[in-house]
Amino acid sequence: MFSSVEKLIALRNLRPKKKEGFLKVISTFSFIGIMLGVAILIIVMSVMNGFRTDLTNKILGFNPHIIIKPYNNVKIDSEYKKKLKDNFKGIEFLDSYSGEGVVMNSETTKGVIIKGLDQNNKKNLAFLKKILIEGKKNTIKNNEVIVGKQLAINLNLKPGDKINLLSSSFISTPFGGLPKQETYIVKGIFGSGFYEFDQNIIFLNLNETLNFFNKSPEEINLEIYLQNPLEADSIKDQIQKIESNLYIYSWIDLNKSFFGALKVERNVMFIILTLIIIVAAFNIVSGLTILIKNKTKEIAILKTLGLSNNSIVKSFFLTGFTIGLTATITGLFLGVLFATYIEQIRVFLSTILHLEIFPADIYFLEEMPSEINPISILVIFILSLITTTIASLVPALGITKMNTIQALKYE
């Protein structure tokens, strides 16, 4: 593709003379700009991918894939469950009920979500055992609750302590309707790794939850778990056709705005950071343009010696392309390396600078996530090479317009 003469000329152009030090500065800035642009783009995209994947896994770990609620006097009975089993293979059912309440102790009052777990279901027991970090048993008695780690820290709770829960339902008294209030013993503390869940969710057993909110067994919700959670929306629509008078929604519906905003942010960041590579590529354009201007006489001599316009264009194109290619490869290496050890780097910087980088209460996660996507890296690599190719080709093509006689007129 490139002859030995073309490669030799490109190599000499990459090693400018001392009097051409300005060209060396431009080439260095071109290299550093493209390298940093590629590396930063890989790091940001990896963090955004990891952030989305980690949040999805955390949300799916705590939320059912599809929730069916009784509505318009239609009950969720065994016959309805049988229809679902017959129509959708591999799905699992859980009975549950959730509501809002207020937790109170001597110092603090905080709103929480109270979720009832069915003690007769092995999936719930396995789930409790998986997330429990304090407390040995995996069943919850009627007078017991399990609280999240962050909530326990905020309220200074430990297993064995008592807390008061205020229900959103009212009970009748001689003085009128008053919110229902119960005292529970903290049975255990769970840690999901998702700050928002650990701070705002309390678990009771299902029967106690129904009693706490003054609900009947007919008002229990049905949770559905799928083999592929990403199919939740399409299956939800099919379930709705079986009985249109039930209220059905999926985990995607509950988090649609959040993941939509995350996708928009990811795309915007990709566009903004791509501009870094494009701006850096302009240094290649300016550097090659100055180089060709300084080498006008040498180019004219090469033409008189029989070297074709095409070969000279290729040699100067190779000069710029080599800078872009080496910068891109170096940027890929640095980006992948940084993305792989980003959590260790975050901890190190936090310790040295005494700053809390990536606070859990803002970003919902306790560790900085990172997921290196080979497709994203390939796209970034190709995008950088295309930008470098265009930036190298444009000034090199200007050589074809050079007047050899005029260039050698005063030699």
Domain limits, the chain: 4-57+258-407, 92-225
Nearest to 225 by CA among 66, 61, 115: 66
pTM (two decimals): 0.67
Q: What is the bridge-based pairing of β-strands 92-104 and 109-117?
A: antiparallel
Count the residues in the chain: 411
Least-confidence region, from 68-82, 173-187, 209-223, 396-410: 396-410
* Amino acid, res. 196: E
Cβ atoms within 10 Å of 281's Cβ, excluding its own: 25
How far lies 101's CA from each of 95, 156, 213, 214, in Å?
A: 20, 19, 9, 13
Asked if 136 contacts 182 with a C-beta cutoff of 8 angstroms, the reply is no
So what's the pLDDT on residue 358? 67
* Cross-strand bridge partners of residue 249: 67
So what's the pLDDT on residue 135? 72
Could you tell me the two tokens for 289?
């343009």
Cβ atoms within 10 Å of 316's Cβ, excluding its own: 25
pLDDT in tens, 302-331: 666 666 777 777 777 788 888 888 888 999
Could you tell me the two tokens for 223?
């949770």
Tokens 């940001």 — which residue? 44
Mean pLDDT of 51-68: 78
Q: Report the percentage of the chain scoring pLDDT > 70.
A: 80
Distance separating alpha carbons of residues 146 and 189, to the nearest angstrom? 6
Distance separating alpha carbons of residues 195 and 151, to the nearest angstrom? 10
* Amino acid, res. 174: P
pLDDT in tens, 109-120: 888 888 888 776
Strand locations in 160-290, DSSP E?
A: 162-173, 176-190, 201-205, 221-225, 247-250
Least-confidence region, from 271-275, 305-309, 319-323, 390-394: 305-309
Tokens 């008078």 — which residue? 245
